[in-house]
Structure 1
C-alpha cells in the first residue's frame, strides 16, 4: 500500500436520533405555530419563547452530533461544542458505557456514536451460539426476539458486532494507521456552539421573564 494513498473522509451520525429530532421539531412547529397564530393574550409570546428555547435544544441533541474522521484529523461535533484534534494527539479511542477518545491527556465523548449495551449483549450471545455450534436464535415476527433454527438464515451464521463497536473499531484502525504516517501536529481545539447556545439562552430568559411577570 502506497504511503501517499489517501482515504475518503468518514462521517458517523445517528439516523435514529435525526429521525426523532425531525419528529419533535415537526410536532413543536405545528403546536407552537398554531399557538402563535391563534392564541390570545400572552399565549403567542409564550409560544414563541418556548419554540426559541426548545428548537435549538432538539437540534443540539439530534441533528448536530457527528464525528468526522479524515486522514489528518478527527473532528467531533457534540451538542454544545466541537473538538478538533490531529491524529498525532489522539492517545486512544474507547467504548465502554459511552464512546470517547483521549487526546492530549483529556477525555472527550462522542455523542453521535452511542453504545447500546443491549445490542452488544445480543451480538455476544449470537457469537457464543456460533462458537458452540448451536444455531443462532433468529428474531420472532414483529421483532419479539427469540426464535430458532426455522427462523435462522445464512446471514445469521456470521459473527456480529454492535454498530457502536464497529464505528469505534474503524476509528481505532484509522488512528493506528495515521500514527505511522507523517501527520500535521497541533493542539486540540475546543469551540463552543454559540449558534446553538445564543437562541437557547434568549428563549430561556424570555420564558423566565414571562413567568416572573
Structure 2
C-alpha cells in the first residue's frame, strides 16, 4: 500500500509548487529490515573476520547497501499542478503533464509519455490481493443491496423499502471500495486531466541517472570481483 503526503517548498506558497508525495510503506519497512541484516552481518564480519573476510564483507556492503536502498527506500512519486516527478531506483524522470499521454494500471502502474516511452512507477506497486479484496467487497455490497431491494418490510416513498434506501445511501456516501494504489492512480489521472493543457504544465521530459546509487554499486562490484579473482 502506498500513502500520500505533502511536501512544501519554502520558496513560494503557491499551490502549484506543493508536491503530493507517494511512497510505499511496505517497501520502506522491507528496506529497513534488509539493511539492518546487511549491516549486522557486515559489521560482524569486519570486527571478527580475518583480513580477506573483512575485505570481502566491505566490498559486499559497498555493493549491496546502495542497491538495497535504491529498490526499497528510494522510490517515490512527486506530483503537483505542473509536472510528475518519478524517483525510481536508478533514474529520476520529470514529465510535465503536457508530455503525458496516459497513466496505465495493469500488473504494474506506469506512465506513457506522448513519445510512446513508458516509465514504471516503482513507488506505487500494484497489489493484486488488494484488488481482489476490493472486488469481493463490491460484490458483497451489491448482493446486500439487491437483497434489500427485493425484501419486504416498510417501504419508503417511491415504492422502495427503507432497507434499500439505507443501503444506497451508504453506497453513495462512501463510494465503491478500491485498492489504495488504484485510488492513487485515479488522483494522478485527475491531475493529468485538469492540468494537461495548462501553459505551466508544458516542457520537455528529462531523465537523469542516479549516479549516487550506480557509482558506489559499481565500485563495490569491481572490488568484490577483484578479491574473488585474486583468491
Distance in 1 (alpha carbons) for counterparts of 2:20 and 2:98: 18
Which residue in the other structure is 2:7 paired with? none
Distance in 2 (alpha carbons) for counterparts of 1:171 and 1:117: 20
Question: Contact conserved, 1:73 with 1:85, CA < 8 A, in 2?
Answer: yes
Which residue in the other structure is 1:76 paired with? 86
Structure 1 residue ranges (4+ consecutive) displaced by more than 4 angstroms after TM superposition = none
Which residue in the other structure is 1:132 paired with? 143
Distance in 2 (alpha carbons) for counterparts of 1:197 and 1:16: 24
Question: Is residue 6 of structure 1 aligned with residue 11 of structure 2?
Answer: no
Question: Contact conserved, 2:88 with 2:123, CA < 8 A, in 1?
Answer: yes
Of structures 1 and 2, the larger Rg is shown by 2
Question: Is residue 107 of structure 1 aligned with residue 107 of structure 2?
Answer: no
Pairwise CA RMSD: 1.8
Q: How far did 1:182 drift?
A: 2.7
Secondary structure of residue in 2 paired with 1:76: strand
Distance in 2 (alpha carbons) for counterparts of 1:31 and 1:115: 32
Which residue in the other structure is 2:25 paired with? 15
Distance in 2 (alpha carbons) for counterparts of 1:111 and 1:75: 12
Distance in 2 (alpha carbons) for counterparts of 1:115 and 1:10: 19
Question: Is residue 191 of structure 1 aligned with residue 201 of structure 2?
Answer: no
Q: Could you tell me which of 171, 180, 186 is aligned with 1:169? A: 186
Deviations 1:167-198 (A, max 9, x none): 10000001111024332421111100000000
More helix by share: 2
Q: Could you tell me which of 20, 27, 30 is aligned with 2:37? A: 27
Alignment of 1:83-122 (within 5 A): 83-103=93-113, 104-122=115-133
Aligned length: 189
Question: Contact conserved, 1:10 with 1:69, CA < 8 A, in 2?
Answer: yes
Q: How far did 1:106 drift?
A: 1.0
Question: Contact conserved, 1:87 with 1:183, CA < 8 A, in 2?
Answer: no
Secondary structure of residue in 1 paired with 2:144: coil
TM-score (normalised: structure 1): 0.84
Q: Could you tell me which of 37, 52, 58 is aligned with 2:62? A: 52
Which residue in the other structure is 1:66 paired with? 76
Deviations 1:98-130 (A, max 9, x none): 000111321110000000111101101110110
Question: Contact conserved, 1:86 with 1:184, CA < 8 A, in 2?
Answer: yes
Which consecutive unaligned segments of at least 5 residues does structure 2 have? 1-13, 146-169
Question: Contact conserved, 2:195 with 2:201, CA < 8 A, in 1?
Answer: no
